[in-house]
Structure 1
Amino acid sequence: MTDDLGGAEPLLNRAQIAQIFNVSENTIDKWRAKGMPVDTEGGNGVAYGFLYSDCKAWFDETQARAASEKRAAEEFVAQQRMAFLGIDKRDQKAGLSPAQMRELAQAELVWMQAAERRGALVQVDEMVELLDLVFAEVRAGLDGQPDWLEREFALSGSDVERVVSYNDEILRAIKATISAAALSDPAELVDPLDGGLI
């Protein structure tokens, strides 16, 4: 066999091959035990002999195999993590490492705190409380409207019933709009028809 310079490739001892790979002789012994090729077996005063080209080919193959196994393991972990967290693979966060997810969460927290200080972000429980107050006013007004219309405009009983039905439809439309917006847990949404939770 010839080396890169065109001459015959020399047989190297443990110290020399270790020096090329920048590792200790103990590491060479471990690599030999794992399958690194040896041209001349040593022992009883005979030095081990290594051909660099064979050792380099084994090293490159071993590194490539280790990298492939690591990628496969990382992909498996990522898939299992996504399944456990219920994240869709198309989600932009799906490919992030735990450290990147932590950084993203910290950035989102800082953004939300700043938005809350500016008044651009409201806590869900505060919004539910506000909606409850608003619906109480709307409900009271709409509940009293038929009686007021009957007194002010001398509406008949059937006309009052039509007004009550119309008002109920308004409240149902408000409820549907809020449910579709999914502003909070559905269990916390106020039912505008009875003042209770939906």
Structure 2
Amino acid sequence: MNAARRVHDFLVVVVMSELTESEIQALCERYPLPEGVEDCVMSREDLAETLQVSLNTVTSWLSKGMPMLQEGGPGKSYELQLSACFAWRQAQKADEDLRSDKVKRAQAAMRLALVGGATGDTIEALDPKTRRDIMAAQIEQERFQRERNQLMRRDDVHEMMELVYGIIRDRMNAAPDLIERRNALEPKVVQELIDACDDIVTDVRGTIDRFWRERPMRDGANERRDLFDA
């Protein structure tokens, strides 16, 4: 089993199950708090403000296994150790990145195979004529699409995506409270609704982030760097 696979398996375990004290300590050592941040015990509200997420998101993380010192209830507030919660969240992000990188490698290998390359090759492994033909075809396709208004400026696409994400996030965060007030739902149903809305917001954010990671800025003329294939 290679190192990347071992790390992936470890992360899957720690973000999907209840952690032991030794596992929490191992996570905190692997993902320590940023320099200058003092560790302390927080409420759900405090943690949400510190990590700049909604209270619903923190609640969703707790349901998925984020460690806690004390579970909240009637007359009792949640107690959350900042270092443990931060480390758990960083491990979760690392697992998402590992899965995204695996998909990206598979996509690149498939694209290369379709133009005559072998597994593990890059475009530089192709003969000069094939490389020139690929680049010439790409330039011609971009020119044609630009003339048909099928190419957009990268900054415009980014701004539009962030605007749409903000609308989805705000509506999803407000939806559980709104529906609860209108329908007098049971607490269990409300929590399920909160979890569903949080999962949608998290998936949208992750999809947007992966979209840009898989499309880094390319070297070349300013005109081509400024355009985005819509």
Q: Give the TM-score normalised by the residue count of structure 2.
A: 0.37
Structure with larger RCO (C-alpha < 8 A, sep 6+): 2
Q: Give the TM-score normalised by the residue count of structure 1.
A: 0.42
Larger Rg: 1
